[in-house]
A = this chain, B = another copy of it.
Amino acid sequence: MENTIAYLREKREGHLDWIKDLCRIPSISTQTEHKADIRAALEWTRDLCARHGFQARIHETGGHPLLYAEWCQAPDAPTCLVYGHADVQPAGDLNLWDADPFDPVVKDDWLICRGAADNKGPLLAHVRAAVAWLATAKRLPVNLKFLIEAEEEVASPNLGPFIEKNKDLLSCDYILISDTGMYADGWPTITYGTRGICYKEIRLSGPEHDVHSGSFGGSIANPANELAKIIASLHDDEARITIPGFYDQVADPSPEERELMAALEFDEQEYVAELGSPAPYGEAGYSSYERRSCRPTLDVNGIYGGYMAEGASTIVPARAGAKISMRLVPNQTAADIDRLFVQTIRQRCPKTVRLEILDHGACDPYMAPLDAEPMQAARRALTEAFDQDVAFIREGGSLPILPMFKRALRADSVLLSLASPSCNAHGPNEKVRLPDLDRGAEAIARLLAYLGR
């Protein structure tokens, strides 16, 4: 292993050139004119893998292609699947960038360009670790597979079907992903859980058309007032969600998790001040950190009805609606919560208005077992590489690939977060801290060794 680590340090500059080369390709999946760039980015990555001993092939899908590469010559060792993506977000307003977003710039310790943090830099940390092993030991400590898609920024429409059709090809013991954020700049981080989501829309209708609020107000139900009542009924005075059965499957954080959380020294006042909210808020009995990570939510994402422009209009609106999403935590399932939500809304909707409920997607929560071997190996590898304790965090957002991998491949994921919280992914001047990528590659090299033992 010492040789492998030494190799990584020696090749640092050359590996940085790889990242720059890949970032120069504007593989923007949200814009059809970049179709050829998407393929170019995958071909560039395929060639890199193939050059260093991987079998690599681009697979066509219904949309953009994806890259699958493998080195599977360790029959007795476990198999790891690395997931990443080679596509990026558009640059957005070029005036907000200090330089061409596709012409990488190094400034102090930072690499600045589109894709530096999301996801090309962190993805290549895995390739660098594998290359280092192959160059120094002529073999990998584990069997290693790369699954690199190019539609992550457009919600991965073809990834699920590809995985379902290629379960044997992709079969593995562990999944490694570096596409999440670190808890703080320079603080090595493992994200071990994500929340699920159940996103619905309620629409209420009353009179056939908007009607005069003077002539008719008070004598017909107002869909906007009734909508407000339904929404208000969904939380109690302690900010708990009142849907019967909503919390039945919720697992409270274990004592071990509570210790990990305490180590984060989360500053509630600073958090609220940064967001601009006037005061902390949330479910009674939980900290702000728990509320955003380990507790389920119910938020109105949008509400509309009647006259919404400047000034005033004296109408009873014919219709009003709200987009409402619930974030879910283990062991809730999106299917259960969907059923409970619909049932509750139907019960609480008065007979004086008509109700329609729409669907805007769902995803189950995910939590990796903290005490499982790969998690402990990753902790050790990161601690050694960064010479610092690892932050263990649960992400409030949802990552559909995690429950999908678990379901299709029956494998848990280890999320090694290498992007700074200040990386500005999707925004102007996206950046990544190069020491984090270098130490990340070393940590991954160590992790492969520990998993292979």
Query: What residues of chain A have their CB less than 8 Å away from a CB belonging to chain B?
Result: 195, 197, 199, 201, 206-209, 211-222, 224-225, 227-229, 231-235, 271-272, 275-283, 288-289, 291-292, 295-308, 311-318, 320, 322-323, 325, 327, 350-354, 360-361, 395-398
Contacts and interface: CB of A to CB of B under 8 A. Distances in A.
A132 to B, nearest CB: 34
A197 B218 CA distance: 13
Nearest to A208: B276
A303 B305 contact: yes
A304 to B, nearest CB: 4
Nearest to A289: B219
A195 to B, nearest CB: 6
Given A213-B325, A214-B397, A306 B302 contact: yes
Given A208-B275, A277-B207, A352-B277, A213 B303 contact: no
Number of chain copies forming the complex: 2
Contacts of A299: 213, 217-218, 222, 224-225, 316
A300 B353 contact: no
A121 B231 CA distance: 49
Given A208-B276, A277-B206, A300 B397 contact: no
B214 A398 contact: yes
Contact of A228 (B206, B231, B396): B231
Contacts of A224: 231, 299-303, 322
A317 B302 contact: yes
A305 B300 contact: yes
A266 to B, nearest CB: 10
Given A232-B232, A360-B311, A300 B218 contact: no
A360 B350 CA distance: 30
A17 to B, nearest CB: 33
A297 to B, nearest CB: 4
A235 B275 CA distance: 33
Contacts of A300: 222, 224-225, 228, 305-306, 317, 320
Given A218-B283, A280-B219, A396-B217, A308 B303 contact: yes
B396 A215 contact: yes
Contacts of A314: 197, 199, 301, 325, 397
A259 B234 CA distance: 44
A120 to B, nearest CB: 22
Nearest to A218: B297
A144 to B, nearest CB: 30
Contact of A295 (B218, B276, B279): B218
Contacts of A211: 275
Contact of A317 (B201, B217, B219, B301): B301
A272 B219 CA distance: 9
- Give me the 8 closest cross-chain CB pairs, A-B, nearest first: A214-B397, A208-B276, A232-B232, A218-B297, A228-B231, A224-B300, A312-B360, A302-B307
Given A229-B231, A301-B307, 18 more contacts: A199-B314, A207-B277, A211-B275, A213-B327, A214-B398, A215-B395, A215-B397, A217-B292, A217-B299, A218-B283, A218-B297, A221-B277, A225-B300, A280-B352, A300-B317, A302-B317, A312-B323, A314-B397
A199 B301 contact: no
